[in-house]
Structure 1
Amino acid sequence: MIPYWSLYLKSLDFSAETIGLLMATLHLSRIFSPALWGWIADRTGHRIRIIRIGALLTWVVFIAVFWQTSALGIGLVMLGYSFFWNAVLPQFEVVTLNYLGSQQEKYSQIRLWGSVGFIIAVLLLGYALDSISVDWIPIILFVLMILIWVNSLLIPSVRVSVIAEEVEVVSFKQLMLTPQVVAFFVITLLIQFSHGPYYTFFSLMMQKLEYTRSQIGMLWSLGVVAEVAIFVVMHSLIARLGLRLIMIISLFLCIVRWSLLALWPEKLLLVIVAQILHAATFGSLHAVGITLVHYYFPDSMKGRGQAIFSSIGFGLGGTLGAIVAGLLWESQGAAVAFGVAALASVVAIMLAYVWIHPEKVQQNSR
């Protein structure tokens, strides 16, 4: 959806501000939806059932998009379907890590297959859109949503035990107020905020520079190919460099990436470099973030931990990033929008340098 949905919205003659607000609705439900579903999953232990229900209601709600042409109608459909879609993602992270058990460092080797799927979809759709109308985008998305739901039915259901609510609530509140955890979630917010101009307007920027839709798809895919490559080796990088150093290096590369897109978007070679840096700005930071949540939260709270990671980062950070990008894009230009993204990364790297020390969490847990 992310690479091509803005093109579909543009075909409906929406302004940049409207497109920014509509793209923000994809993130808006992530502010509250994952936390709600995470709480339910931790209380009941039925994570697979929640994943199946969320995947089913995702495509059921999305059906309504075929009768919408107004910004309000499309926005309500996007908000509704994403409420259920965002029930799926964080719980699937928990299920994956639980299946891995003591081999959680291999998480990235499973996660990379999501990236492979993204590459295939973006490349094929990019080539197709050079020949077919963008009106096909909702239909293709609808088919993919149904396939996701069907796939969720094939996963074995395992119910985990739950513990007393009174003890959990107190411990969870105390944990959330730990300085390192607070800093981690602020960094998570800033990372996704900085991706706002990229996720919302990169395709439109490239189209304005007269790239074909297949070329735009290839550029998006290049970033995810780099992401796959980093996922393949992430387990060994974590063992060799540690989570803190990987986070700091990746945040520095965020600054480099957004600066390249701010200053030289017309230079193909530098855009290619910027896309390769997706390995750091999303790939390694996502893997590090998922792993840190697993460090910070005990078993009985992992569902809510992953949910809040999604809520604050992809939800609040993504929403603010899309809205601010939409406001800046036409009034100030692409350079300012990506410059603000780079500035957010500067703040994040300072917080990470001072506050992120995973080894202290491990020591305290002993």
Structure 2
Amino acid sequence: MHTVPYWRLSGFYFFHFAFIGAFAPYWSLYLKHLSFSALQIGMLMSLLHVTRVFAPAAWGWLADHTGRRLLIVQVAALAGLASYCGVFFGESFGWMFVIMALMSFFWSASLPLIEATTLSYLGESTARYGRIRVWGSVGFILAVTATGYLLDAAGIASLLWAVLGLKLGIVIFSRQIPEGEVMVHHADGTSIGQIFRRPEVIAFFAACMLMALAHGPYYTFYSIYLVEHGYSKSIVGWLWAIGVICEIGIFFLMPQLMHRFRLKQIMAFSFGCAIARFLMIGWGVDWPAMILLAQALHAATYGAHHATAMMVVHQFFRGRHQAKGQALYTSLTFGLGGTLGGIFSGYAWEWLGAGLTFTVSSIAVLLGLILVVWKMNVGRAT
């Protein structure tokens, strides 16, 4: 087993999620600045998820087939940077659609392969995953707060340059991580289709897809929603940051939580918190304390949920199936679920309004919770 390249992996997570911190909360504001409608904004933001339906599976298969995970990450990071530069050369809906589709296609390659690489390095000490992944949360916090102040001071156009710098950081750190060893496992003789067709695996993916779908309105319209209700962009940035600060705390606590509770119990708890959180956002926007509490629940609805999901995927897909398993998770949850959530949010925001839209999100999470309790059968993390 190679020594874990802690700071190199952490640096990649830092810039990957710093990019998300600058892009996800504020890009919809930039698109609104370009006078796009809510439906158009929903369509454009959903491209981040549409490409994750099919692209990660293709990248994951290529990585497992060639054994060169990090080379693929490096090429995709460079191509993603080049694609993003197109935003400086046009502002029409068609042009932005093409640029965001290309950027998202290459961007979607990186995280599943980095997750598989990290878990390969950790071996049987997977509970330590949160100690590395936490640096992604730190990057998100710094980016989301700094970008909020930047936009208040310099205007929305400054967002383009902030995102460019973070994309460059992803390229630099993608070249610092050494290729990890893929460990032989007895599951190597089982096909990926046989694993995927197991009832508990199907239930897990379906539940996570519903969780991602439910987050569609949050990731697409949350910042617009708060600004329209009188919150400044810097306050919006801090609200995003507070959620991730709480997420950091959970990542540090996950080894102890995973030692004490079964993965199924932690996941069920995260779904229960998500139901409450979306109802609080949808109906409590005029009460800052309610919104603050809802953001604190991000520790469970993303932090605990994501760390637990990574352990479940690692238990289901071992050996030569690791990259494909991570890719399937990304494709079916963030990809398909995120796409449906983004498209749904564009229509629902105009026709139902914010309150009912977030209520539908809570109902989707409730269905996911039923699947977790009914069908999932996983033990503790190693």
Q: Distance in 2 between matches of 1:341 and 1:238?
A: 27
User: Match for residue 240 of structure 1?
Assistant: 260
Deviations 1:261-291 (A, max 9, x none): 1111111000001000001111111011111
Is 1:140 aligned to 2:166, yes or no? no
Q: Distance in 2 between matches of 1:71 and 1:83?
A: 18
User: Match for residue 121 of structure 2?
Assistant: 99
Instruction: Provide closer, same or farther for how the CA distance between residues 49 and 271 of structure 1 changes in structure 2, counting only shifts above 3 A.
Output: same
The letter for the 1-side match of 2:83 is V
- Secondary structure (helix, strand or coil) at the match of 2:36 reads coil
Q: Distance in 2 between matches of 1:258 and 1:102?
A: 36
> 279, 287, 303: which is aligned to 1:259?
279
> 296, 299, 308: which is aligned to 2:316?
296
Q: Distance in 1 between matches of 2:106 and 2:347?
A: 28
User: Match for residue 53 of structure 2?
Assistant: 31
User: Match for residue 81 of structure 1?
Assistant: 103
> 98, 102, 112: which is aligned to 1:90?
112
Q: How does 1:195-214 map to 2 (within 5 A)?
A: 195-214=215-234
| Structure 1 runs not aligned, ≥5 long | none
Q: CA deviation at 1:160?
A: 3.9
Q: Distance in 2 between matches of 1:61 and 1:157?
A: 25
Q: Distance in 2 between matches of 1:274 and 1:342?
A: 13
Q: Distance in 2 between matches of 1:192 and 1:266?
A: 25
User: Match for residue 154 of structure 1?
Assistant: 176
Q: Distance in 1 between matches of 2:380 and 2:176?
A: 40
> 64, 82, 89: which is aligned to 1:60?
82
Q: How does 1:349-364 map to 2 (within 5 A)?
A: 349-359=369-379
Q: Is the 8 A contact 1:46 1:158 kept in 2?
A: no
Instruction: Provide closer, same or farther for how the CA distance between residues 179 and 313 of structure 1 changes in structure 2, counting only shifts above 3 A.
Output: same
| Structure 2 runs not aligned, ≥5 long | 1-22
The letter for the 1-side match of 2:277 is R
Is 1:171 aligned to 2:186, yes or no? no
The letter for the 2-side match of 1:224 is V
The letter for the 1-side match of 2:230 is E
Q: CA deviation at 1:170?
A: 6.2
Q: Is the 8 A contact 1:46 1:160 kept in 2?
A: no
User: Match for residue 31 of structure 2?
Assistant: 9
Q: Distance in 1 between matches of 2:212 and 2:307?
A: 14
Q: Is the 8 A contact 1:44 1:162 kept in 2?
A: no
The letter for the 2-side match of 1:43 is H
Q: Distance in 1 between matches of 2:51 and 2:223?
A: 23
User: Match for residue 348 of structure 2?
Assistant: 328
Q: Is the 8 A contact 2:266 2:304 kept in 1?
A: yes
Is 1:112 aligned to 2:134, yes or no? yes
Q: Distance in 2 between matches of 1:353 and 1:268?
A: 33
Instruction: Provide closer, same or farther for how the CA distance between residues 328 and 185 of structure 1 changes in structure 2, counting only shifts above 3 A.
Output: same
Q: How many residues align?
A: 359
The letter for the 2-side match of 1:38 is G
User: Match for residue 122 of structure 1?
Assistant: 144
Q: Is the 8 A contact 1:43 1:162 kept in 2?
A: no
Deviations 1:304-325 (A, max 9, x none): 0000100011101011101101
TM-score by length of 1: 0.95
Q: Is the 8 A contact 1:209 1:266 kept in 2?
A: yes
Deviations 1:65-87 (A, max 9, x none): 11121112111111101111111
User: Match for residue 223 of structure 1?
Assistant: 243
Q: Distance in 1 between matches of 2:119 and 2:321?
A: 13
Identity across the alignment (%) = 40
- Secondary structure (helix, strand or coil) at the match of 1:3 reads coil
Instruction: Provide closer, same or farther for how the CA distance between residues 352 and 158 of structure 1 changes in structure 2, counting only shifts above 3 A.
Output: closer
Q: CA deviation at 1:360?
A: 11
Deviations 1:310-359 (A, max 9, x none): 00111010111011011011211001110110000110111100111113
> 334, 347, 350: which is aligned to 1:314?
334
Q: Distance in 2 between matches of 1:15 and 1:317?
A: 22
Q: Distance in 1 between matches of 2:25 and 2:160?
A: 13
TM-score by length of 2: 0.91
Structure 1: 4+ residue segments shifted above 2 A: 157-163, 167-170, 359-362
